[in-house]
Structure 1
């Protein structure tokens, strides 16, 4: 306890010194004391929680005068409830969670994000049995290995056979508003397999209306065991649970989300709007620590990844075998056993402005909620923008980033040009179905899909 108290005294001296330097013009903008120093942060056991683990282990939180406890949560609902009721001060979240809570889907709460945690990082895995049935439908390279990306076209004859025989084709995803749900649906629909609609206005939140493939929730660490038991025939999940299926020889990852949508946004760091309002300095300092952690994870061409894998392998973080985590975190991905291919951007934590909370990212999630019926009624384009501005907070991010630049901890080139940035990525073209996404025109985007709700459609 004495050492902890001494540490806090030293930290306060450092903060005071920083404030004095700021007053003398050494820093562009003074950072105030953290209004709340002791924080409890939650996460799910996935490799993309890495910025939180690194900020803790590398002392970035303590540099900000924050004394953080990091706790694994049982599932995404428990995690979200913990942030809402104040048991947790913030958490590693599915990007769809703050958005869904804000519009009142599932639960109603004002959750915001000042920080996007990563790009990519997910995969879709099928059982060995299903893989054997898919293989005849997949083109092969000269060396006999499958041509990637593998589209759901190869799965469609398998699903059609299940339907003809009157058997349900069950698949797992981690949460109804997860990236995994929308990516799995996107991949299936692009191959002509209907993943089903939601109809909350009719009290149906199963997501299985008109479905060819029946999707249901399975917590990430339970995915491999559920697949092995035969309860599901495939799943979409983050790492290391696709690679775990390969190591256990129970399934084959057929496609990564990088191949479904190159450099897609994944998790976010979520806090309540009330927390950000009550503790503005703490919020900025939290964001600073996470930005530094993300930079550390990607710098020098991922040179720090082996050390990061050792940290994540600890039982208090992901708790999986080093080799399983390293399979994807160090720039490779193993599909069928022995078919390991370079995927240097499978996990991106900082480059490509991965940490910036783009409005267009939030709008994409909203379009998928509408596409599959979680948003029951048509919404004008302006509504999508209003929700994005309410949830995604680049203003907080900018304050954190500019203070890091002022302290020469980071360079202006590490970030978007804040003077010209409008919160929208350029049109995105790298989707598995070649459909172009422009976040400024959500309804026009929705009109391009053969499967899914569009303006004027009702269930």
Structure 2
């Protein structure tokens, strides 16, 4: 099927600026041969499906997909141009644009998914937690399991002079912030960063010491006893269950229901140099996300078969299917229905909301990665530099015009302001309103407050 031509009014209606304003019509992609990077996690699925189902090719894009060793290598590849775009942690484009770590202008026109992570502890830690967890009549634990159950275990380690080590995948990853959120909600301090003092360990004043481990290495690191627990995406929580080396105690769906997870990241320079290509990439990814969630997840078994290939995630079909097909196994044999564990299109999952970006920034400030107070406007302005709903809207409108999607599958672009309604489904009951980031930060018992600096 030849790729279709999208005309300028669609682009103008979405408000794409800079180089794209000079384009008379969004026709042929300016760059056809592209290389995208990813990490071996199930939430890279939109990229794999866009390739396998021919959506990239229908846009005139000839894509090579390459697994990357870790998140830093992946980010560096996008910045230096070795990669044209990549499956990224939602915090990576934000941190790079802000200058935390590597400084670079990275944008995202497409949010890849909601949910998809879990927190797993070793079997030994689980046995120590179990007496602190309420039971159902059938003897199984009541979920969600809060970090309150872990606190006495951590306190005993501290009393014995032993560090309580846990793993997360990257300092600006959702996993870092979710693990910190869960721990702090249970009264366990996960530590501060102090980049202005040259301390980027994130372990100042910590009860639990968090450090970086690449996702595929999490189970082996847990089994070796180097860490006692970790937060990671799938399939590496379910892998711990299958290998009988650990127990997932909570999912991020239970920490923050329908939380944003990964994004597709490109440089601002790429988007401005290749505006047609950028919209066409976004079109293909939207179609892939739609396919993944279509007909009540009816396509998921096929998706799992694709992802289990060694060139994608490379884990066993059964391990990936455990979460991708709407269930999640906690303690071995305790498999529960979690239909929204992986969401790729429902609930406007693909729309790059400013409020999603601002939440990450609030957590960066809470834990000291942002050293100084910032105004509410600062948060909003930085979010708008990175998250690009204008590009998304151009892609979505064109899909509707081409009858490949319907308008009711997307937000109402005429009234959309880029902010979700205040979100209430957090494990600690605290409400998040993206319009009021400083007010939100000051609600937490553990974490930096307005005016505080380490």
**TM-score where L is the length of structure 1:** 0.95
Count of residues in correspondence between the two structures: 442
Structure 2, unmatched stretches of 5+, are 15-24
What displacement does 1:458 show?
A: 1.1
Of 43, 48, 52, which residue of structure 2 is paired with 1:53?
A: 48
The 5-angstrom pairing of residues 39-50 of structure 1 reads 39-50=34-45
1:195-234 paired onto structure 2 within 5 Å:
195-234=190-229
Give the aligned partner of residue 116 of structure 1. Answer: 111
1:64 equivalent among 38, 44, 59: 59
Equivalent runs, 1:110-149 vs 2, <5 Å? 110-149=105-144
Write the distance in 1 (CA, Å) between the matches of 2:84 and 2:145. Answer: 41
Q: Is 2:276 the partner of 1:281?
A: yes
SS of the aligned residue for 1:91 comes to strand
1:267 maps to what in 2? 262
Structure 1 unaligned spans of 5+: 1-9
For the residue of structure 1 that corresponds to 2:237, the secondary structure is helix
**1:32 has 2:27 as partner:** yes
Q: What per-residue deviation string (whole Å, max 9, x for no partner) do you get for residues 191-220 of structure 1?
A: 000000000000000000000000000000
Secondary structure of 2:202's match? strand
User: Aligned residue for 1:100?
Assistant: 95
Distance 1:409 1:47 in 2: 25
- Aligned equivalents of 2:449, 2:86: Cα separation in 1: 33
SS at match of 1:145: coil
**Corresponding residue of 1:3:** none
Which structure 1 residue ranges, 4+ long, deviate > 3 Å from structure 2? Answer: 28-31
CA distance in 2, matches of 1:407, 1:32: 13
Q: Output the CA distance in 1 between the equivalents of 2:346 and 2:69.
A: 30
> What is the aligned partner in structure 1 of residue 336 from structure 2?
341
Looking at structure 2, the residues matched to 389 and 156 of structure 1 have their Cα atoms a distance apart, in angstroms, of 38
Q: TM-score, normalised by structure 2?
A: 0.96
Q: Which aligned pairs between 1:297-312 and structure 2 lie closer than 5 A?
A: 297-312=292-307
Q: Secondary structure at the match of 1:310?
A: helix
Residue deviations 1:65-89 (CA, integer Å, cap 9, x gap):
0000000000000000000000000
Q: CA deviation at 1:32?
A: 1.6
How far 1:448 sits from its partner (Å)? 0.4
Deviation string 1:14-71 (CA, Å, 9 cap, x unpaired) is 55xx46xx69x9xx99532100000000000000000000000000000000000000
Which one of the candidate residues 339, 353, 356 is aligned to 2:351?
A: 356
Question: CA–CA distance in 1 between the matches of 2:127 and 2:26?
Answer: 58
SS state at 2:72 partner: helix
Question: Which of 351, 354, 367 does residue 362 from structure 2 map onto?
Answer: 367
Deviation, 1:260, is 0.1
SS at match of 1:61: helix
Whether 1:317 and 2:303 are equivalent positions in the alignment is no
Secondary structure of the corresponding residue to residue 180 of structure 1? helix
Number of the residue aligned with 1:295: 290
Equivalent residues in 2 for 1:239-254 (5 A)? 239-254=234-249
- Counterpart of 1:445? 440
SS in 2 for 1:352: helix
C-alpha RMSD over aligned residues:
1.4
Partner residue, 1:164? 159
Q: Give the secondary structure class of the aligned counterpart of 2:257.
A: coil
Q: Find out whether 1:420 has 2:423 as its counterpart.
A: no
Q: Determine helix, strand or coil for the equivalent of 2:30.
A: coil
